Amino acid sequence: MKRALTTSATILLLGFTTLAAPAQIIPTDPQRRPAIATPDPVTFLFPEQVTVPAGKPSPVALHFRVAQGLHINSHTPSDEYLIPTDFSIPSGAGVRVDRAVYPPGATFTLPADPKSHLSVYTGEFAIQVQIVAAAGNHLVEGKLRYQACDQNQCLPPKTIEVPMDVIGK
């Protein structure tokens, strides 16, 4: 009985201590506000693993998704100062890109500049890549470089990893 009273008293004391603790104040100044993790504007969907004939050019479709409300410049943007979307595989990976065929971009007009027409990707898109793999199992860290924008501003250019397990047989 005495032990039950001691346990109850401890629980009550902890509860009062928690209530008496000062509340955490989140600064309203944007520069002092804690960073909130946001998802990448572009996500690699699939394939995670492919098996291809060793030493022969083989087609692989790489699927991506652009976050809702954003767009990225196509591989052939409408102005030379815009950053194109580009897929690459670093040298020494045991796999190389023989060629890549990018989808045509959709025409996008910014509300602030109706005369300007951009070539962009939104939603899901796929890059048709022809790869050549050496014999063996290769964990490839492909790269997709892009610049994401909304209707008002662009984020800094970004490169995401495109991890694939390529088996050359």
Residue 47 to residues 5, 31, 61, 82, 86, Cα–Cα distance (Å): 60, 39, 8, 28, 18
Over residues 29-36, mean pLDDT: 46
Q: How would CATH label the architecture of 38-168?
A: Sandwich (2.60)
At 137, is the secondary structure helix, strand, or coil? strand
Distance CA 121, CA 70 (A): 9
HEC letters along 48-105: CEEEECCCCCEEEEEEEEECCCCEEECCCCCCCCCCCCEEECCCCCCEEEEEEECCCC
pLDDT of 38 reads 55
Q: Residue 77: count other Cβ atoms within 10 Å of its Cβ.
A: 18
pLDDT, tens digit, for every residue of 75-132? 999 888 899 999 999 999 999 999 999 999 999 998 878 888 899 999 999 999 999 9
Confidence of residue 61 (pLDDT cuts 50, 70, 90): very high
Mean pLDDT over each residue of the chain, to the nearest integer: 83
Candidates 67, 86, 65; CA nearest to 75 is 86
Distance CA 121, CA 63 (A): 12
Q: Residue 100: count other Cβ atoms within 10 Å of its Cβ.
A: 17
Of 20-29, 50-59, 92-101, give the lowest mean pLDDT range. Answer: 20-29
pLDDT of 111 reads 81
Higher pLDDT, 1 or 67: 67
